[in-house]
A and B are shown apart, each in its own frame.
Chain A
Amino acid sequence: MSRRLTSGGRYIDRSAPQGFTFDGTTFEGYAGDTLASALLGAGVTLVGRSFKYHRPRGILAAGPEEPNALVALGPKERTEPNQRATTTELFDGLTARSQNRWPSLKHDVGALNQAVSKFLPAGFYYKTFIQPRHAWKHLFEPIIRRSAGLGPAPTHADPDEYEHLYDTADVLVAGGGVAGLTAALAAGRAGKRVLLVEQMPHWGGRLVTDALPDAKEEAGETVAALLSALEALPNVHLRTRTMCAGIYDHGYVLCHERVSDHAPAAGIPRHRLWKVRAGQIVVATGAIERPIAFPMNDLPGVMLAGAVRDYVECYGVTPGDTVVIVTNNDDAYRTALSLKAAGIAVPAVVDARGAADGALPAMARAAGIDVRTGQGVAKVLGKTGVEGVQLCAQGSAGEVTDTIACDAVAVSGGWSPAVNLWSHCGGKLRWREDAAWFEPDADKAPTGADGRAFVAVCGAANGRMGARDAATDAAGVGAAAAGGEVPGDLPGVPDAPEEAPLEPVWLMPADAQIEAREKMWLDFQNDVKVSDVELAAREGFESVEHTKRYTTLGMATDQGKTSNINGLAILAKALDEGVPQVGTTTFRPPWTPLSFGSIVGEAKGSAFQPLRRTPMDSWHEARGATWEPVGHWRRPYCYPRRAESAEEAVEREVLAVRNHVGILDASTLGKILVRGPDAGRFVDMLYTNMMSTLKPGRCRYGLMCSENGFLMDDGVVARIDEQTFLCHTTTGGADRIHAWMEDWLQCEWWDWKVHTVNLTEAWGQIAVAGPKARKVLESLGGMDLSAEALPFMGWADGTLGGFDVRVYRISFSGELSFEIAVRAGQARALWDRLVAAGDAHGMAPYGTEALHVLRAEKGFIMIGDESDGTVIPQDLGLDWAISKKKDDYLGKRAQARMHMTDAGRWRLVGLETLEGEVLPDGAYAVSNEKDEWGNTRTIGRVTSSYRSPTLNRGIAMALVEKGPERMGEVIDFPIPGADPIAARIVSPVFYDPEGEKQNV
């Protein structure tokens, strides 16, 4: 049955019908509808099931505070769960599904939980599932996980686009109601750059809806005048569908713009995350209406009174044909008048107050509405929707005095300022006893970098509920935020009648018995009832923070927007304290949930992380390389030929280097120039060995340690001239080591004359290694590469095949090897020339895995394999690279600490498995002796392990307790699910221990 009114609804366009589906059924709404208003218009009142008891739930609100109407949007492959129907704009083709029900919304098996609700009180997880222990993991948790939870997570990668946007504003105004518009105009007139954001698609907030019938036109003109004045200001930027999600330190604000949710289109981002730096922030976020706790207040058809008139006036729909109003304040009478004007029956306004003599009740009475003061709701009748209400005296225990048939209940327990944004960055609240709400304490504002307040609140969010009062407040706050004067020509705001004070009603009826309190919902989404909060208080959860976690009050996706104050008041009552003494929970960002996609922004897919490519990258790709990520670089792991496995390719590449020649892209190695009169002194501090004695034209391997003494990087240093060293770092280490050098030069030895320049990307670097390496290079023609002209560990500048190059005679493979540096813009061309020249010599490109095998055969360590941040060079048998003569180097003092000199440290050895098998990387060795507790003792760990094609057997390097003292000993490596592998401790240098092959 349609609940669409025949007229009215200023947001909708009745000439533009929009088709949508809900749970597979097709419905029709209008352009301008929200999904909630369209569902109501189509007569759909049951929209979901609650979290714990699977109770039927309808739409409670008309905005972001909605706790019930959560749906999954989109087709299955791009589903987005837990979206509020009240903030989802309708478009033609929208698909939505209800959540947390099985097999269907109407017939939900989980609703059986209601029958056993007595056994599911607050904290039931903690109480019920303690014993037996193992049952938690295998029985209870899987069942709870399946039955709890809201919408299902999407199963496919998000296909949509998102983006970030950085912006600045002198004044950011959050909220586009009359207060926000006025504040923005006041700030804009002062000449400051203003950014005004509104989460909904419309400006003006509640101004027109809440105006009395004879003032609506004037209210509409006010909004239009404010908007046109703002649009005329070039220094003001207006943005709808943009939610101020959070306020952070130093004026940082996140705003979430829903760019195309309402009109999906390819190539347009779905959401845009604004990262704004604001000088001042004006919070004009209005207020949120509170429900009242009365029995069965969660039935579909019970709706907030303000939301009811939103639906009637903005969307031309009504939640029911006969609506009873339940209130403790005058504001709800506006709803009675709205409904009456729309031709909806309003049999009664049930007012809990002893008297209702204000102007608004008087107008309701004049309209012929029955006002029943001192009354409350004893119970809402109905199963999956409202069928009537039983009334009682508010001061009673709930003895029924009357029953009224109706199909909807509009409830108002008063309004609470929406103070969330104020609280995000530390703003404090104060309790207003007369109004029964928390409002911002302007004396305790969030403070910024200069120690001064940077957030101000105005309008309803500041406790100024009347529109005219709110606008006056906003004009002052907006002008102050911009350091200007209140403009004299602000559009007038229509007057509204004075409202009588509300009477706080936390429980209806006041003396409700426990059976009734067990049916009074506080948190609709998480199924927290009055009785749950009382139970928490009885069980000693006196702090609101504890009660919240124990009962889950306010912890659902709505973060308690409609339940926090009511819950707090119930707790205060149970503890016999005042509300402010019980305190309030701290509101944290975001105001309403924002999409993960918007947080990720452009950082997805191929732009997830920067991928660093060498100048030869496209050659590797064309050659079918498999990749190994190293830092942000990608390096070829190996180059499999057709039908060749990766293992086979690595073996072939290793043997090519050992027997013929191989070519490696070494461009990723860090290259840092260290230059100056104090450069020698500086490298002596950086490296453990004596670098300053290195002669120009020569290279030396060096180790760098942290001040903890731990090995952090290694590489070859080339001395270029008297004042200049070129320090090579590991692939992942260049930026880190360059920053490390600058740290010491800037912050410790700032009087040393040393310059560093990170030249890593200026040069491509190509290693040509193997017995025929010299032949390949010489075939290009150019510089003299003979052992005499360029001996091992020397370098020289020259030309090769017409390219200007610098050639280093260094070897990480143990073979005759040249590393050729060439300007990056020519590296690919030189690479191509070398590859062509190598053909005649059986040259193969080799990747990082062959590189690793080659170096392991030679017993060379690899940073990150043999070192892990707890290893000192002494552990690795690198004492030869640690100067005994130097007074100091970074890490020297730490290496003298007791634990570092302990004779029992794990030290580097080689391992030969007895059967030639390959040890698993990372395998642990155990001792046959037990420790003092009778446990097996771990005495070592494999750091590198490979099948050596050269030796045709498994080889490994390991750190073993007192390893070098145990040469020849056989130790066991237990393998899960298999027999232990026995390995003999040997020297880590498996191949050419004399180093004859590299020095030819």
Chain B
Amino acid sequence: MSDIATALGGARYEGFALVEEAQAGGMIALRGDWADLGSALSAALPLEMPQTRHIVTDGERSLAWMSPDEALVFLPVDEVAETVRRITESAGDAFVTAIDVSDMRAVFRISGEGTGPREVLSKLCPVDMRSIQVGELRRTRLSQVPAAFWIGSDGTITVICFRSVAAYAFEVLTRAARAGTEVGHLAS
């Protein structure tokens, strides 16, 4: 069996912020009533259920709210199959769908000084980047493609989008991050 390739093979660009394609890792899409998801996950994953529009992280595992009846699990890729099995099993009769979507998305990390990482996204997303809190998950539009992002406690922003548009997303992110184009508006 071959390794799992990311869309861009770990592309990287350094402007006033650093934009890097990350290893996608494992992802599991979940659908079901929120309460059903909570009970199914409680036995399968050592994470609290996130609040609406939030993500909870513990080490290598995260659990993201995606919609009122949809969650996304991030975990090491070799845990995916077993976790899907455990979720399905613990769901029992509850109507819960769990499916491996590890290869469906591209993941980018944006890091840098001050408001730099937020500013990169403020050029591309119709979002008030000042108001985004650590742990908040925002699904939105990244220029012309759907994307979601959240800000970690170290200020690094993680952006996910669909795999097929990874090159497009990387291009607009790097254009927005070009050195010399800082605006500084988020500092006020």
Contacts and interface: CB of A to CB of B under 8 A. Distances in A.
Contacts of A15: none
Interface in B77-116: 95, 97, 99-105
A602 B168 contact: no
A759 B164 CA distance: 12
A761 B143 CA distance: 20
B104 A166 contact: no
A755 interface: yes
Given A165-B123, A759-B101, A826-B5, A676 B95 contact: yes
A762 B185 contact: no
A603 B143 contact: yes
Given A762-B100, A824-B163, A164 B123 contact: yes
Nearest to A609: B144
Interface string A818-831: 00000111101110
Interface string B171-188: 110011011110101011
A675 interface: yes
B47 interface: no
Contact of B127 (A166, A753, A803, A824): A166
A602 B143 contact: yes
B148 interface: no
Contacts of B122: 165-167
B103 A823 contact: yes
Interface stretch (A232-240, A412-420, A428-436): A232-240
Contacts of B95: 676-677, 753, 755
Contacts of A632: 165
Contact of B1 (A236, A269, A607, A802): A802
B153 interface: no
Contact of B31 (A168, A275, A755): A755
A488 to B, nearest CB: 24
B126 interface: yes
A734 B89 CA distance: 30
A400 B4 CA distance: 92
A613 interface: yes
A761 B163 contact: yes
B121 to A, nearest CB: 9
Nearest to A163: B123
A458 B95 CA distance: 59
A612 interface: yes
Nearest to B1: A802
Interface string A741-778: 00000000000010101010111000000000000000
Given A602-B172, A823-B103, A633 B29 contact: no
Contacts of A609: 144
B167 interface: yes
Contact of A755 (B32, B125, B176, B180): B32
Contacts of B127: 166
B172 A607 contact: yes
Identify the interface centre among B6, B24, B100, B175: most chain A CB within 10 Å of its CB: B175
Given A193-B188, A272-B183, A610-B144, A824 B104 contact: yes
Interface string A179-215: 0000000000000010100000000000000000000
A812 to B, nearest CB: 21
A829 B5 contact: yes
B188 A163 contact: no
Given A165-B183, A676-B95, A602 B5 contact: no
Contacts of B187: 234
Interface residues on A, range: 35 or more
Interface in A81-97: none
A826 B77 CA distance: 13
A926 B183 CA distance: 64
A163 B97 contact: no
A613 B167 contact: yes
B103 to A, nearest CB: 4
B175 to A, nearest CB: 5
B188 to A, nearest CB: 4
A826 B166 CA distance: 16
B145 interface: yes
Given A615-B5, A753-B95, A825-B5, A168 B130 contact: yes
A733 to B, nearest CB: 15
A269 B31 CA distance: 43
A606 interface: yes
Contacts of B165: 610-613, 632
Contacts of A269: 181
Secondary structure at the B interface, as helix, strand, loop or mixed, is loop
B2 A826 contact: yes
A296 B1 CA distance: 86
A106 B104 CA distance: 66
Interface in A224-265: 234-237, 239, 265
Contacts of A809: none
Contacts of A163: 123, 175-176, 181
A744 to B, nearest CB: 16
A68 interface: no
A804 B105 CA distance: 19
A624 to B, nearest CB: 19
A755 B143 contact: no
Contact of B125 (A166, A236, A761, A828): A166
Contacts of B2: 802-803, 826, 829-830
A258 to B, nearest CB: 14
Contacts of B1: 802-804, 826
A529 B162 CA distance: 59
Given A753-B95, A825-B102, A761 B124 contact: no
A268 B179 CA distance: 8
A309 interface: no
A611 B167 contact: yes
Contacts of B144: 603, 609-610
Interface in A780-832: 802-804, 823-826, 828-830
A759 B124 contact: no
A669 to B, nearest CB: 12
B58 interface: no
A612 B164 contact: yes
Interface in A146-172: 161, 163-168
Contacts of A613: 7, 164-167
A755 B176 CA distance: 37
Contact of A825 (B6, B123, B131, B167): B6
A277 interface: yes
Contacts of B180: 265, 267-268
A614 interface: yes
A481 interface: no
B164 to A, nearest CB: 4
A241 to B, nearest CB: 13
Nearest to A735: B146
A757 B175 contact: no
A673 interface: yes
Contacts of B171: 606-607
Nearest to B101: A762
A612 to B, nearest CB: 4
Nearest to B164: A612
B162 to A, nearest CB: 5
Query: What 5 pairs across the A-B complex have the smallest Cβ distances?
Result: A825-B4, A612-B164, A824-B103, A829-B2, A237-B188
Interface of A: 161, 163-168, 193, 195, 234-237, 239, 265, 267-269, 272, 275, 277, 602-603, 606-607, 609-615, 632-633, 673, 675-677, 753, 755, 757, 759, 761-763, 802-804, 823-826, 828-830
Given A168-B130, A272-B183, A610-B168, 14 more contacts: A163-B175, A166-B122, A267-B180, A602-B124, A607-B143, A607-B168, A614-B164, A675-B97, A757-B97, A757-B99, A759-B101, A762-B100, A826-B2, A828-B5
23 contacts: A165-B185, A167-B128, A234-B187, A268-B181, A275-B126, A602-B175, A613-B164, A613-B166, A614-B164, A615-B7, A615-B163, A673-B99, A675-B97, A676-B97, A755-B97, A757-B29, A757-B97, A757-B99, A761-B103, A761-B163, A762-B104, A823-B102, A826-B103
